[in-house]
Structure 1
């Protein structure tokens, strides 16, 4: 039975015009022509042919040594030994030989390594990809094997930003990035559906109809690859590329190098022997947008007007007769050893500069101005009555009642964790038994994971005489197999419960609150957590953002959050408890961390204090890990948030102490004073 042909590259709507392909198709073609560009990241909503066109790319690439270009898909749930390779268990146990079994990185050599949903990839696998992409080779040090092998590949990733953003270090490793969306024009949407249904009905016949266009595309790729070394990157073009990079304030020089390589590849694709302004314009649109993001909450994109202003309308002047006539000098100076073999069909994803690191954003804590709350009668949580600093009590969350206060610049926060040891998805927050990390023993009941060879052999030794061992070979049975047990870090569900009442409405205080929460969101992003946002003000609480992996969405909800009205603390705690109960059913292995941001007041409705105490006790009985961030300010402090923390059994932190930099400063000062 013959294999089902892939959906043709030129059958994808928008990729069927070789003279004007859509950005996604063009980016893939350019990185195929010049692998040194460094791969492509395709970002977009579901159902936009991201995976289809990537899989179709390998079929139109010229074969390698009379063999098709390898397309290796890296599953999101792959284990480390599956990616880098490990000892061949059958040979080790059956023949007593330690033989290496190649992993996916070895199989992708000189081909395409495709990662669907790359933003959901576990951190330890991201690290492996970074190392291999940067060095052009992979190093294996595990299970008694020590070796290095070539691993030069074009890294192609697809992702849906709604499911969470990509780690900055890996984002920078992609040479090009494109944003895709489904067409909004009815005729185009109808054509997409028509072609897909035709392919599903008869894949072979559908592929045959596009055989000529596929052949023409393959011929053009071969011609462009042959022309690539002859394309001239003049001094004027190189200076213009440098001007663009400087004007858009991108970090490092990787952007300039990738833009130059992409411009050369585009000129070759167009059959031109020199780089023009149009080539630079196309290259900048593909190489710069994802490098302008300073933190996960910055929207990617490029100011087209600024780009046009820099490039202008005049053509580039020619180089003087004795000046450099190609990009050789620039390439030689910036090239790293990892790309020396870029004449293969594929090369490393870029080893020319270190990846940007967003793990330690610049510190900028919000100022704390004196603020006197207008209530003097208080017991636990807050006495009922009017709050002098509040606006009249509204019904619900009405955006018209207050103007949202923007947050300040995020800072590096303290690490808050869930106590104990969990078994959730791999991440970077709380202790857990995971598929990677420090090996702490063996689990005889486990059915998945890497084998623990020592424990497996130890389990088999007592049974050798009964099994009739005579020739010196160790007799292993399936009951002897032991799986390694690792302790690492897990990701958690971080649910923010934020007080947006009138007592928080003072501009300086709300700015400080939003800055702290924004900083904690950035920390959650870096630790691969899911996040949710509950807000309470007026008379009720709302789930402003259901738990999601997209911290961008949480930051947007936070930025638009107004403040004012009474303080329905009980309603906020009850809503948080309800959200956690639902998430416990949806994802039982992901442990929650509830972060309550409040000054502890409770003034909305009858028996506000008693109801708040009851809601707090209910959360405490559920053994929910909590952190109470106290936002009370001014010389008159009532200590209500601290009382709330005691009822919850929660960790208590004043809002100013969320900043890890401030804690270091305080510690150093105290230490020096003691000395």
Structure 2
């Protein structure tokens, strides 16, 4: 099967360099490629295998041992009469749904049940030894599998201790993972374990984009012709890779280079020493790639650009990247005086905020000048609603007052600094995707039972017990081996943790100091999302104001997307509570179709008012009753403040059959506490809890 030529890929120079460096020196630790969809990530990784030099392996060895230096502990060894054969380098793809047994190997059931011998069946790590192991959508892979892959890539060995098997074999591989950040992030601990990382984006130059399309169409029309067109470049690249691999051991890493690498890593305030080690290895590989026998400043710079961006200290909501001006200053020139300190930046103009970006016309987020009158739509900090705001005055029947055609002042609240959220759990035991949140029956975890099915994870004690009950009927005599049948097989039932969905349904109207409440809610959601992307959770946000509701943040695990969406949520106008509940119900319905095993928790943040449309209050109560019938756990956070209390949120909680929590002062910490406390919050006597 022909693959798109590596040399024919346009506009991915950084990715190409990172793949080349880790091919020259697998000890670098692999490459993580982050980028939007449609940027040739998978195409380039698959093309890399075609330019790898051919390998000499021992004939018949399942672990691809090198004839020149066979692994002394190879399970297929010891290798004495070696017969060498040549083969192309392997590209092994790991699917997202792979099990632990498939990755590291397991007991050969055919040998165990047929002949009674304990035999090891190699997994994908063994198949990828001396080749490339490619994981597409690595951010969606279970965390424990990512740990296994990264350990093997860093140590060069895989050790298996399970099911009566004790095996260790070489696993020197090039680990490449690709991911789309919009679908969720890797945990920082796992992100740090990748040696190099690179961001890829589609080129913006029309000439480059047209060339990409031209080559792709040419390949689709006649793959053989395009492969032949780049055959010479592919062979040159293959020869250069082989020469660099052979030259790697002769490259000198001087004390000067080591000191410079340490200065660069310290200057970027990276955590730990892995950054220094990876940068040094990548710099040596870069020097070998450029036919040098000594590491230079250019090698260190190229290595640092790939090894440090994902290790520097940054807020999770900051865009990844590296300050190349700082990198140049840290590298410097030893023969020259240090560069002068950069000039102090001028204060931003009134049209810009602290980050240099334009703010809204209302100057959201900036306090008014002392003595100046408050602006329209701005929260004045009072606890009571503004009696002059038409969106704040329900009449006695709950209908809106004032002219519906008059303009509604809007403002955009900004979130405070996120904090660490407490653990959120859902009561009971679910069956959702493996994560790090609530109790669930998952494919990994501690064994809690067995089922009479033949699965990938055999439960030996239960299997033997089932077979023992049938030995007399099968005519087994004393001294005979245990007689097993297919019906005796038992699969282990394991309990671990699952991921969940927390959906906030938030009143963004002009009532009840909405600006302060929205700031607190945004901070809470971002904080929960920061914790959620580490635990494989999803968080969503529905806001309602004016005449309708909006899904401001579709359920996601991406911190960066969440930060961008939440920053743009406005507040002001009337309160369409029924529309907000309907939007939440529709969102949960679609999420249940997409992922029926993920259990949700709905958090409704409102004062219970309904001031949009005729018979608004009655419609909202009917909608709440409908929503309660969906079987979703819910929490109503009462944001009503002031001297008079209408108790509308309490009635809403009764209609939703939800927990009721009174928060006179809504702030980010209190709101997150409601969600993370989950079932521990006292339930109002007039409400009952729906089934999980």
TM-score, with structure 2 as normaliser: 0.77
Report if the CA contact (8 A) 2:532-2:557 is conserved: no
Is the alpha carbon distance of 1:624 and 1:661 closer, same or farther for their aligned partners in structure 2, counting shifts above 3 Å?
A: closer
Aligned equivalent of 2:670: 657
Q: How do 1:282-301 and structure 2 match up within 5 A? A: 282-292=302-312, 294-301=314-321
1:28 to 19, 26, 29: 19
| Cα separation, partners in 2 of 1:600 and 1:463, compared to 1, 3 Å | same
Unaligned runs of 5+ in 1: 16-21, 318-367, 377-381, 668-675
Shift of 1:402: 3.4
Contact 1:393/1:539 (8 A) holds in 2? no
State how 1:505-516 maps to structure 2 within 5 Å.
Answer: 505=513, 508-516=516-524
What residue is the counterpart of 1:613 in the other structure? Answer: 621
What's 1:141 paired with? 161
Q: Which residue of 2 aligns with 1:597?
A: 605
Among 46, 53, 59, the alignment partner of 1:55 is 46
Secondary structure of the residue that 2:49 maps to in structure 1? helix
Matches within 5 A, 1:105-144: 105-144=125-164
Q: How many residues align?
A: 594
Determine helix, strand or coil for the equivalent of 2:89. coil
For 1:228 and 1:505, locate their aligned partners in 2 and report how far apart those are by CA, in whole Å.
Answer: 65
How far did residue 488 of structure 1 move?
Answer: 1.8
Cα pair 1:112 1:153 within 8 Å, conserved:
yes
CA displacement at 1:293 relative to structure 2: 5.7
1:252 corresponding residue in structure 2: 272
Name the CA shift for 1:474/1:635 in 2 (closer, same or farther; >3 Å). Answer: farther
For 2:401 and 2:263, the matched residues in 1 are separated by 51
Cα drift, residue 371 of structure 1: 4.2
Matches within 5 A, 1:93-242: 93-200=113-220, 203-204=223-224, 206-242=226-262
Using the alignment, how far apart are the partners of 2:644 and 2:155 within structure 1? Answer: 59
In the alignment, is residue 450 of structure 1 matched against residue 475 of structure 2?
no
Aligned 1:490-569 pairs, distance under 5 A: 490-503=498-511, 505=513, 508-569=516-577
Q: What CA distance in whole angstroms lies between the structure 1 residues aligned with 2:643 and 2:255?
A: 64
Determine which of 6, 10, 17 is the counterpart of 1:9.
Answer: 6
- d(CA) in 1 for partners of 2:539 and 2:245? 46
- The aligned residue for residue 384 of structure 1 is 394
Higher relative contact order (CA 8 A, sep 6+): 1
Counterparts of residues 405-444 of structure 1 (less than 5 Å): 405-444=413-452
| 1:92 alignment counterpart | 112
Residues 372, 636 of structure 1: 8 Å contact kept? no
Q: Take 1:621 and 1:663, find their aligned partners in 2: how far apart are those partners?
A: 24
Report Cα offsets for 1:394-431 as digits up to 9, x if no partner.
889x9x94342221222222333333332222122222
Q: Indicate how the Cα distance of structure 1 residues 154 and 636 shifts in structure 2: closer, same or farther if over 3 A, else same.
A: farther
Residues 577 and 619 in structure 1, CA contact (< 8 A), matched pair in contact too:
yes
Whether the aligned pair in 2 keeps the contact of 1:370 and 1:634 (CA below 8 Å) is no
Residue of structure 1 equivalent to 2:585:
577
Specify the alignment match of 2:636 in structure 1. Answer: 628
Measure how far apart 1:87 and its partner are.
1.3
- How far apart are residue 173 of structure 1 and its match? 1.0
Out of 82, 87, 99, the position equivalent to 1:79 is 99
Say if 2:384 is the partner of 1:373. Answer: yes
1:147-173: per-residue Cα shift (whole Å, max 9, x none)? 444433322101112222122211111
2: distance between equivalents of 1:258 and 1:634?
58
Larger Rg: 2
Task: Summarize deviations over 1:381-405 as a string: whole Å, max 9, x none.
Answer: x99349xxx9999889x9x943422
Helix, strand or coil at the partner of 1:41: strand
Query: Cα offset for 1:641?
Result: 4.1
For residues 472-502 of structure 1, give each alpha carbon's deviation from its aligned partner in whole angstroms, at most 9, with x where no partner exists.
Answer: 3444443333322222222223222122222
Q: Secondary structure at the match of 2:285?
A: helix
1:535 partner SS? strand
CA offsets per residue over residues 83-135 of structure 1, 9 Å max, x none? 12221111111112222222222333333221111011012312323443454
Is the 8 Å Cα contact of residues 414 and 658 (structure 1) preserved in structure 2? no
The answer to whether 1:39 aligns with 2:50 is no
Contact 1:384 1:608 in 2 (8 A): no
Alpha-carbon distance in structure 1 between the residues aligned to 2:596 and 2:516: 39
Task: Check conservation: 2:11, 2:208, Cα contact below 8 A.
Answer: no
Which blocks of at least 5 consecutive residues in structure 2 are unaligned? 57-85, 337-378, 681-692
CA contact (8 A) 1:425 1:490 kept: yes
Following TM superposition, by how much is the alpha carbon of 1:255 offset from its aligned partner in structure 2, in angstroms?
Answer: 2.3
Q: Distance in 1 between matches of 2:119 and 2:428?
A: 39
User: d(CA) in 1 for partners of 2:413 and 2:551?
Assistant: 20
3-state SS in 2 of match to 1:582: helix
Q: Is the 8 A contact 1:95 1:473 kept in 2?
A: no
Q: Is the 8 A contact 1:85 1:102 kept in 2?
A: yes
Deviations 1:593-631 (A, max 9, x none): 222233444333343332222222222121111233444
- Mapped to 2, the partners of 1:133 and 1:48 lie a distance apart of 25
Q: Secondary structure at the match of 1:96?
A: coil
The SS at the match of 2:412 is coil
Shift of 1:571: 1.7
Q: Which of the pair is proportionally richer in helix?
A: 1
Residues 83-92 or 105-114, more deviating: 105-114
Kept after mapping to 2: 8 A contact 1:630/1:642: yes
Q: Distance in 2 between matches of 1:501 and 1:250?
A: 43
